[in-house]
A and B are shown apart, each in its own frame.
Chain A
Amino acid sequence: DTGVSQDPRHKITKRGQNVTFRCDPISEHNRLYWYRQTLGQGPEFLTYFQNEAQLEKSRLLSDRFSAERPKGSFSTLEIQRTEQGDSAMYLCASSLASWGSSSGYTFGSGTRLTVV
């Protein structure tokens, strides 16, 4: 296990379609995070899980967005009825619950979504 994996790397979809992204964290990390990064901006927090529990959701996460981590391992992020404003890089990260001696997050390479 060499890092956080995200699939797909790129997704082009038509407006109104549903999309789903997958994230596989570092296996021993019990926390998993989703961030969104738009052009010219830093990543913005969307949500995070500790094991299978979703503990926090940002106001950025509208009702069209849903995230799951059913067995406390991989996670999925689904966007329903996509809009052009959803075009962004979706970043997944994982960490241990205790940050003290670690680098904090380990990020995946991201999924770039383009809604046309």
Chain B
Amino acid sequence: AQSVAQPEDQVNVAEGNPLTVKCTYSVSGNPYLFWYVQYPNRGLQFLLKYITGDNLVKGSYGFEAEFNKSQTSFHLKKPSALVSDSALYFCAVRDGSNDYKLSFGAGTTVTVRA
């Protein structure tokens, strides 16, 4: 079984401040981890993924995420948030034993104030 938890429904930060969106996961095998962003009435846009290799993954729009196996976490980070980063963010996991299904968290709404 595979699942993801995003413990915060909302994150509010001021523009220029660091942004962190938390994600923890549970899988029975090796995790494949993803972050997606969704703008209103739009589909999901891929930000970054971790499959293997370096624990720090760099992705689109200045985002990065750190894979921590001991804490089963994959937190999304951005050093300096922009107002345009305001959106809904989803963490997703795929168990290495299946090659087709992603399980998503409930999402975290990020609001960056000017």
Distance of B68 from chain A, by nearest CB (Å): 21
Residues in B with CB closer than 8 Å to A105 are: 44, 46, 102
Give the number of residue pairs across the A-B interface with Cβ within 8 Å. Answer: 62
B106–A42 CB distance below 8 A: yes
**Chain B interface residue count: which class?**
20 to 34
Q: Which of A31, A41, A108 contacts B100 (CB under 8 A)?
A: A31
Chain B interface mostly helix, strand, loop or mixed?
Answer: strand
Given A33-B100, A56-B101, A103-B46, decide whether A112 and B107 contact each other with a Cβ distance below 8 A: no
Given contacts A107-B36, A112-B41, 20 further A-B contacts (CB under 8 A): A33-B100, A42-B92, A42-B105, A43-B90, A43-B102, A44-B104, A45-B102, A45-B103, A91-B43, A91-B44, A97-B99, A104-B32, A104-B46, A105-B102, A106-B46, A107-B43, A108-B43, A109-B41, A109-B43, A110-B43
